[in-house]
A and B are shown apart, each in its own frame.
Chain A
Amino acid sequence: MKITWLSFAIVAILFIIVVESVRRGVLETKYSLLWIVTCIIMAFLSISDNLLNTVAGWLNVYYPPSLLFLFGLLFALLIIFDLTRRVSKLNKEMTQLTQDYTILKEELEKRKRQEL
């Protein structure tokens, strides 16, 4: 089996998993965008020898299928970076929520004490 076909098969399975996850509500639509774009581009690169060869020609790559690794890796990096940013944002929101919750809890306890 050619590596391009293997690559296509993996990307196709990934695509199905992504779409299925969105359908079941496990993955939010906005987060699926980057994955779907990745799948589509990788699928095109894998299936079309012409496209792969042309791009390899532009970039002076002697063995075109190695481009698949390059793009795969770049997308993985992109998605990881996107994730780290989202985690940072979540972290900030979690901190804020915890602090506000704690201050409100203190207020509630103070009120309870006053009523007693």
Chain B
Amino acid sequence: MKTLDSYKVLIVVPAYNEEAAIKQTLNKLLNIKKHLPFVDICVVNDGSKDRTADIVRSFEEVILLDLPINLGIGGAVQSGYKYAAKYHYDIAVQFDADGQHNEEDLMTVIKPIINGECDMCIGSRFVKQTDYSGSPFRRMGIYYFEFLLFLLTRKKYTDATSGYRAINQKVIQLFAEEYPRDYPEPEVILFLHRKKLNIKEISVNMKERQGGSSSITPFKSVYYMFKVTLSILMQKLIKE
């Protein structure tokens, strides 16, 4: 069995116009890196129009993937996974730049992967009661996806839209080749389910965002629900 230190872990932080929160997020992650030296931090700047890239560049230990065009969250995260595949990382963790994710939970999402319990581990706000409370509308959306995914997979995913997730090498390879483009989180669950890979949810704490604004405005959320539902159903239709 490999020791913990022999693992290479890449934290992928997709960032789009996050100048308000990115510095704090990176400081927290670098603090964690002191205890977990096998972790590398990679920010994917998704064509931000603000100073996000400059701020990240001032952190020498942080890897910066500076996309010249805005590819959307899917394309940005996939760049990180491609980097992870190229440099043979064992584990990749997606981590939000806006300060919602708790860096202290990092080991919580990584551990099940190291122990071989699953191929992807999702940090969920709702497995246990946590401090998090989103708007009622948002919670409704999350319940909707829980229901939809249950219909299609017969498994319970309490937080399908959570972007806090860790994946093993097998899934890194898979995602480097194919990853959905817009709002990919719920779709990915079905994608891996179709590939007969194990997904586990684990309880984490999340905060409200610390700065910047969500990519999903109320205006876009109806389109979001419709689009994601369609792509989830399409995933179900795709034959191997």
Contact = CB atoms under 8 A, between A and B. Distances in A.
Interface in A63-104: 94-95, 98-103
Contacts of A49: none
B74 to A, nearest CB: 9
A106 B83 CA distance: 10
Nearest to A94: B69
A105 B65 CA distance: 8
Nearest to A105: B66
Contacts of B79: 98-99, 102-103
A99 B65 CA distance: 9
A88 to B, nearest CB: 10
Interface in B45-82: 63-69, 71, 75, 78-79, 82
A60 B181 CA distance: 46
Interface residues on A, range: 10 to 19
B75 A98 contact: yes
B86 interface: yes
Contact of A103 (B68, B69, B83, B181): B83
Contacts of B68: 98, 101-102
Contacts of B71: 95, 98-99
Interface residues of B, number: 15
Nearest to B181: A95
A94 B79 CA distance: 13
A61 B79 CA distance: 55
Nearest to A109: B64
A100 to B, nearest CB: 8
A73 to B, nearest CB: 26
B82 A106 contact: no
B163 to A, nearest CB: 19
A92 to B, nearest CB: 9
A74 B66 CA distance: 44
Contacts of B65: 102-103, 106
B133 to A, nearest CB: 36
B63 A106 contact: yes
A28 B67 CA distance: 30
B75 A103 contact: no
A98 B86 contact: no
Nearest to A97: B69
Nearest to A107: B86
Contacts of A102: 65-68, 79
B70 to A, nearest CB: 10
18 contacts: A95-B78, A98-B67, A98-B68, A98-B69, A98-B79, A99-B67, A99-B71, A99-B75, A100-B82, A101-B68, A102-B79, A103-B65, A103-B82, A103-B83, A103-B86, A106-B64, A106-B66, A106-B83
Interface of A: 94-95, 98-103, 105-106
Interface of B: 63-69, 71, 75, 78-79, 82-83, 86, 181
